[in-house]
Amino acid sequence: MIDAFARDIHYLRVSVTDRCNLRCVYCMPEEGLPLVDHREVLRFEEFERLIAIAAAQGVRRVRITGGEPLVRKGIVPFVARVKAITGIEDVALTTNGILLPRFAGDLKAAGLDRVNISLDTLRPERFRAVTRVGCVDDVWTGIEAALAADLHPVKLNVVVMGGVNDDELADFARLTLQWPIHVRFIELMPIGEGDPRFRGQFVSIEQMQAKMAREGLRLGNHPGIRGGGPARYHTLEGALGTVGFISAMSKHFCAACNRLRLTAEGKLRPCLHSRQEIDLKAPMRRGAPDSLLSLIFQKAVEAKPYQHSMLDEGWGDRTRRMSQIGG
């Protein structure tokens, strides 16, 4: 699907649940969010139908996200069904990793291509503070399980926050000397719970790179690894993995945007930042044929803005947090 700015939209991010087993401070309020009623969340068969319709229009990559996708029952057979859809070449999952020890092998067997695992700190007490409930060892066991299952390339997502974890950049980067993993540093976005933190804790990619250089790390350019996202990759000499940067704010990558989002409630969101959402669930449940649902996909593609305006406008959307959009 080609949008109004000649961008090829071929990547669908599917949030299969708004629920999560963590409460990351920049993503969810401590008490959690009012849970969407089960009946309002799409059934896996409904997601499958919509993904097949998107694939028929040129979507080739699917990322399963959430909330935490691994807390939803039936996720493994769902992955297998998505992988079997004609036209889908790459099925990836973004997860906090806590449940990967249990699921990595089965996900691989079901056809999952790869995982991105979110981990913002290597320090146990800090991890507990950032996620409010989590245990960092569980994520490490999850990373090892993903590597053992060959869910390759295994990427780590690190949201960098000033005064919280920006003293761990070198530690994270050095992990790539010992492990074949791809560490990606992400700029904090003023979305949902990230909004009030943004002003005080934002660290730009340029600042991160300057800090790493001061700490003696020499990053060489790297042509990139398998993926459809916006990260720019570098590497340390002799490393098994890479170090990537996702500059969502300071140097956004919207001109190369390739994606649409489908929320757990069956709404198409043309842009991460824009509030607009287009409902697919109601027409689908009223019996709309594939041709009509295809048109709705096209409308969403047409509605994509050229770029986000988070720097000028901040968030201001009280109805949505990152866990509800899928990141």
Ligand X SMILES: Nc1nc2c(ncn2[C@@H]2O[C@H](COP(=O)(O)OP(=O)(O)OP(=O)(O)O)[C@@H](O)[C@H]2O)c(=O)[nH]1
Ligand Y SMILES: C[S@@+](CC[C@H](N)C(=O)[O-])C[C@H]1O[C@@H](n2cnc3c(N)ncnc32)[C@H](O)[C@@H]1O
| Count of CA atoms in the C-beta half-sphere (13 A) of 228 | 24
- The site partner of 307 among ligand X, ligand SF4, ligand Y, none (C-beta below 5 to 8 Å per kind) is ligand SF4
- Helix 136-148 to helix 124-131 angle, to the nearest 10 degrees? 100
Of 41-49, 169-177, 198-206, 223-231, the segment contacting ligand X by CB under 6 A is 223-231
116's enclosing H/E stretch is: strand 114-118
* Contact call for residue 23 and ligand SF4 (CB under 6 A): yes
91 pairs with which residues across the strands? Answer: 62
Residue 42's CB is within 10 A of a number of other CB atoms, namely: 24
Cα dist. 205→176, 190, 233 in Å?
Answer: 19, 15, 12
Applying CB under 6 A, which of residues 236, 248, 296, 300 lies at the interface with ligand X? 248
Is 246 a binding residue for ligand SF4 by CB under 6 A? The answer is no
126 labeled binding residue: no
**Residue 81 structure tokens:** 């069904």
Hey, what are 109's tokens? 């067997």
My answer on whether omega of the bond before 283 falls inside 30° of 0, hence cis, is no
- Considering beta carbons, is residue 165 or 176 the nearer one to ligand Y? 165
118 is in an annotated binding site: yes
Q: What are the E-state strand segments in the chain?
A: 11-15, 61-65, 90-95, 114-118, 154-160, 181-187, 219-221, 232-236, 242-246, 259-262, 267-269, 278-279
Nearer to ligand X, 116 or 176 (CB): 116
Transcribe 269-326 into DSSP letters: ESSSSS---EE-HHHHHTT--HHHHHHHHHHHHHT--SS--HHHH----TT--HHHHT
Q: What does the longest C-alpha to C-alpha distance in the chain come to?
A: 61
C-alpha to C-alpha distance for 225 and 115, rounded to whole angstroms: 13
Name the residue nearer to ligand X (CB basis): 272 or 301: 272
**Torsion (CA) 152, 153, 159, 160 in degrees, nearest 10:** 130
Identity at 147, one-letter amino acid code: L
Q: Does 16 bind ligand X (CB under 6 A)?
A: no
Report the site for ligand Y in 137-166 (rule: CB under 6 A).
157, 159
- Tell whether residue 52 is a contact of ligand Y (CB under 6 A): no
Site for ligand SF4 in 171-190 (CB under 6 A): none
Confirm or reject binding of residue 327 to ligand X (CB under 6 A).
Answer: yes
From the CB of 246, what's the least distance to ligand X, in Å? 5
Decide if residue 272 touches ligand X (CB under 6 A): yes
Cα angle for residues 187, 190, 191 (degrees, 5° grid): 110
229 near ligand Y (CB under 6 A): no
Of residues 59-78, those binding ligand X (CB under 6 A): 63, 65
Judge whether 20 is annotated as a binding position: yes
Question: Applying CB under 6 A, which of residues 3, 68, 195, 277 lies at the interface with ligand SF4?
Answer: 68
19 counts as binding ligand X under rule CB under 6 A? no
Q: Is 119 annotated as a binding residue?
A: no
State which residue, 131 or 258, has the beta carbon closest to ligand Y.
Answer: 131
Strands 267-269 and 259-262: antiparallel
Q: Is 116 in the site for ligand X (CB under 6 A)?
A: yes
Question: Quick check: 68 binds ligand Y (CB under 6 A)?
Answer: yes
* Residues engaged in binding ligand SF4 (CB under 6 A): 20, 22-24, 27-28, 66-68, 96, 118, 252-254, 257, 259, 271-273, 305, 307-308, 322-323
* Residues engaged in binding ligand Y (CB under 6 A): 20, 26-27, 65-66, 68, 94-96, 118, 157, 159, 186, 188-189, 191, 194, 322-323, 327
* Residues engaged in binding ligand X (CB under 6 A): 63, 65, 92, 94, 116, 155, 157, 186, 227-229, 231, 246, 248, 259, 272, 308, 327
